[in-house]
Every structure is written in C-alpha cells, then in structure tokens.
Amino acid sequence: MIGPGDEIQYPSFSEELHHEAELAVVIGRLCREVPRERVKDVILGYTCANDITARDVQRREKQWARAKGFDTSCPLGPWVETDVDPSDLTIQLTVNGQQRQLGRTSEMIHPIEDLIVNISEAMTLLPAT
C-alpha cells in the first residue's frame, strides 16, 4: 500500500498495468472469524483504493499474488470516512481529468458484510494504524 499521490513503481516482470477504483474497508480492531451481525463493529471506516493490476501477469499465472500484490500496487486515501453508509456510493476514477471508470457500490456483486465474513474466516484482519 502507498499513499495518494505516491509514485507507482512499475514491476520489472510486467508491461501492462491497469487501474481500477475500489472502495476500501478500513478495519478498526484486530479480528478473525467475524460473524455477519458483528461486521459493523470491526469497521473503522472507508477510503478510496486504486487497485493496480499487472494484467499480463494475471492472464499468464494461475496465482494472482504477483499481478495484484507487487510493491506500490495499492494507493489508498487520502482520508478515512467514519460516518458514511457504503451501500450506494459513487466510485469514480479519473486520469489527468479524464473519467475512466464510473460505478456505484450498490452494483457490487457481494455485499461488504459477506466479504468481511468470508475473508476473516481465512485470515486475521489487522486494524489500520
């Protein structure tokens, strides 16, 4: 993860980086195996994320860790909103003033609660510091 405005370093193993605007959930406390009814208790807030993906690597490798997890692949911020309903927010991405993506959180395939339940079954979620 890097901050807003920080430089994204192109990985040497890729020639095709793509960007995608995402809503990032900021965890407020250490948690694991979060039941659906407690999800709101572990969320501190929400912020903007830029999901940078090495698409050429993603296409050729079955495991996506290198394609989506290289250093600087996830700019976040610049702030965390703690008092917002995430159910129907605008998600927009612009590059040099040109709109590249426009959507709404209401169009998400999986609700945030389901994602937190699913992810926390496999790994401990750490709080933002």
pLDDT at 39: 98
Superfamily of domain 17-122: Fumarylacetoacetase-like, C-terminal domain (3.90.850.10)
Distances (CA, A) of 80 to 11, 28, 33, 70: 28, 11, 24, 23
70 vs 95, higher pLDDT: 70
Q: Give the separation between CA 31 and CA 44, rounded to whole angstroms.
A: 12
Half-sphere exposure (Cβ direction) of 52: Cα atoms closer than 13 Å: 19
Report angle CA 61, 67, 43 to the nearest 5 degrees: 125
The tokens describing 3, both together, are 């901050």
Domains of the chain, residue spans: 17-122
With beta carbons less than 8 A apart as the criterion, state whether 28 and 127 touch: yes
Q: What is the pLDDT of residues 26-81, one digit of tens each?
A: 999 999 999 999 999 999 999 999 999 999 999 999 999 999 999 999 999 999 99
